[in-house]
Amino acid sequence: MKPEDRRFFSISPYALLGASAVVSSAEALSHINTTFKQLRDAGVTDILWHASICGKALYHTRVATALSGDTRYRGRLLEAMLKSVDFLEAAATAGRNCGLSLSVVCRPYDDYFPGLACDFEASHQHCLWESRDGQFRLRGVLSMAYEEVRCYRLAVVEELASYDVDRVVIDLDSNAACMTPFRRMDFFGYNDPIAHAHLERFGEDIRAFDDIEYRRGHDLQIVDAHCLGGQFNRDGWHRLKGEYFETFLGEASRIVKAAHRRFGLLRGRIEGILPMARMSLPADSWLKNGLLDDLFLPYGAGEDRPLAAYLAARSASACVITSTSTNAGDGAIVNLGDIIGASRVDDGTLA
């Protein structure tokens, strides 16, 4: 089947099961099977199944932090179900039975939300993306500049690739914007390894500035910190951060392909994670050199050039999806997506 003929549907099991009337493990299995059949009958060919909800894994993990401690009612129910049902294994089985291709989605920059925090993130606060003045960190976003972070992420990828899935997808989306008041472009990303590497390569101290202006909100909490002076090569800085991510991506690609799975990247509308946490993402070259098998991006991604030009230049194996988000109760999110040009799968299929 040609990439343009495939129709993708992205599912968070936390939302799928949490927004339903499911209260037991048997009902959860039945609901997953029923949903997959509905999607197949609606013309969907591929499922993007999210392995985690923020920092909590929704499968039987030996590496990550399994769903626990969620104070929401539905979260507590899912935690109890997860003890006897591996949601990822259930999705893989349902996909095979329905003839659907299943991709497991991993978010390496989405490790924190109240009640849904990752133990590794909590014990490695020094690895979180750091502000230029060294006073603030971006919760849930661990820097790939640290070897221990890359090793942890790769162990998670290897665990996911061991399941009977067709593809492992790295998703750059993150809930971190909800966890910080700072909105200034490029506010984070000045960690020690990056600062030292930038100094060695360009002879510039990215953390040096002449003065700093703090702004407080109505509750007197600091909501902005503007560093004055100390200009440096920002393009080089973004490339350097992207190189650390590319190091992780290359190692992850080898692990996934050794397991005979396809490897994909789902990037957002900006070059990086969030506007306050940017880095260079040369996805075109990653496709061309075989590091990636597939590239996913939301409609309108890449403000630097029209989407039509992007599609014309992309690899034949690249898949491009549109995506929207829908609130699904208890603060959960269902991400819906399909190939550009195809009709959208109606949200009613999840009812």
Question: Any idea what the CATH number is for the domain that residue 38 is in?
Answer: 3.20.20
What is the token pair recorded at 294? 């597939």
Which one, of 329, 310, 327, 328, lies nearest residue 319 by Cα? 310
User: Is 125 inside a domain boundary?
Assistant: yes
Query: What local confidence, expressed as pLDDT, does residue 88 receive?
Result: 98
- Spans in the chain with pLDDT lower than 70: 1-4, 297-351
Query: What local confidence, expressed as pLDDT, does residue 10 receive?
Result: 84
Query: What local confidence, expressed as pLDDT, does residue 324 receive?
Result: 32
User: Is 304 inside a domain boundary?
Assistant: yes
Query: What local confidence, expressed as pLDDT, does residue 295 receive?
Result: 82
User: Is 308 inside a domain boundary?
Assistant: yes
User: Is 258 inside a domain boundary?
Assistant: yes
User: Is 126 inside a domain boundary?
Assistant: yes
Helices (H) and strands (E) in the chain, counts: 10, 16
Query: What local confidence, expressed as pLDDT, does residue 205 receive?
Result: 97
CA–centroid distance for 44 within its chain:
22
Query: Distance (Å, rounded) from C-alpha 295 to C-alpha 286?
Result: 9
Residue 332 lies in domain: 3-181+242-350
Q: What is the pTM of this model?
A: 0.86
Q: At what angle do helices 234-258 and 147-161 cross, to 10 degrees?
A: 30
Query: What local confidence, expressed as pLDDT, does residue 29 receive?
Result: 96
CB 264 within 8 A of CB 166: no
User: Is 220 inside a domain boundary?
Assistant: no
Give the count of domains, the chain: 1
User: Is 195 inside a domain boundary?
Assistant: no
User: Is 203 inside a domain boundary?
Assistant: no
